[in-house]
């Protein structure tokens, strides 16, 4: 088991998407999505704004890895397709946005948080999200705290990543220590609103 740690720079419920009973990472973080395996753990820590650096936004244990087409076609995850006109934010930040139809050379990008202004294609986001991997990470065992993110204990501060990229080279005893703390949190799913929703103009 490995632990991947990174900063959730835009904590809006898109990447990760913690809604509807499964935590998913289907956009951004292509290097993590490309190399993580079932049984690994992904943790995301808070950004400097809103003063959540060193706090745990979420953790999930990966139990399923699929690809964009599989994610799109799976009836269990239809609710994670974005609806940009829905009244609730959790629907507007759906991450199930990429798929190919027969004959497509590149992935279609649904109107979503990663679209261009007005719902058009964002080539940059599509390239980053799909250019190196089509893998989608899914976990049913997770805690997503968002704005209620607890501070990571001092003795586990080596797991906090500063800046872009991610960390995953931890010795077995450190992995065991972090795993023990994460297990103590309960794995109870969605436990707080995304921390950056407070900066949006409309309320869910």
pLDDT tens-digit map of 16-28 = 999 999 999 999 9
Residue 177 neighbours by CB under 8 Å, 6+ apart: 155, 156
Please spell the DSSP secondary structure of 80-109, one letter per residue.
Answer: GS--TT-SSHHHHT----EE--TT-SS-EE
- When the pLDDT of each residue in the chain is averaged and rounded to a whole number, the result is 96
Q: How many domains does the chain have?
A: 1
Burial 50-69 (b: 16+ CB within 10 A, else e): eebebbbbbbbbbeeebebb
Measure Cα distances from 13 to 55, 157, 174, 175, 189 in Å: 16, 24, 28, 26, 13
Residue 16 lies in a domain: yes
Residue 119 lies in a domain: no
* Residue among 143, 137, 170 nearest 55 (CA): 143
Residue 25 lies in a domain: yes
The reported pLDDT for the residue numbered 204 is: 46
Residue 146 lies in a domain: yes
Residue 44 lies in a domain: yes
Q: List the chain residues with pLDDT less than 50.
A: 203-204
Residue 99 lies in a domain: no
Residue 109 lies in a domain: no
Helix, strand, coil tally for the chain in percent (to 5): 30, 20, 50
Residue 93 lies in a domain: no
The reported pLDDT for the residue numbered 182 is: 98
What is the residue range of 188's domain?
3-77+134-196
The reported pLDDT for the residue numbered 201 is: 77
pTM given for the model? 0.96
Question: Above pLDDT 90, what percent of the chain?
Answer: 96
């Amino acid at each position: 088991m490995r632990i991947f740690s990174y900063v959730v720079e835009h904590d809006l419920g898109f990447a990760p998407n913690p809604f509807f009973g499964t935590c998913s990472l289907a956009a951004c973080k292509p290097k993590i999505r490309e190399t993580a395996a079932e049984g690994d753990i992904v943790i995301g820590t808070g950004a400097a704004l809103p003063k959540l650096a060193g706090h745990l936004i979420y953790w999930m244990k990966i139990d399923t890895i699929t690809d964009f087409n599989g994610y799109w076609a799976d009836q269990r995850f239809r609710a994670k397709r974005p609806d940009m006109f829905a009244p609730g934010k959790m629907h507007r930040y759906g991450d199930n946005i990429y798929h190919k139809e027969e004959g497509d050379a590149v992935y279609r990008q649904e109107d979503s948080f990663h679209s261009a202004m007005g719902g058009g294609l964002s080539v940059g986001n599509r390239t980053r999200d799909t250019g190196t991997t089509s893998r989608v990470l899914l976990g049913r065992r997770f805690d997503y705290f968002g704005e209620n993110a607890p501070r990571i204990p001092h003795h586990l501060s080596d797991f906090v990543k500063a800046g872009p990229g991610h960390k995953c080279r931890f010795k077995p005893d450190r992995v065991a220590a972090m795993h023990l703390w994460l297990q103590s949190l309960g794995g109870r799913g969605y436990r707080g609103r995304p921390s950056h929703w407070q900066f949006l103009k409309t309320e869910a």
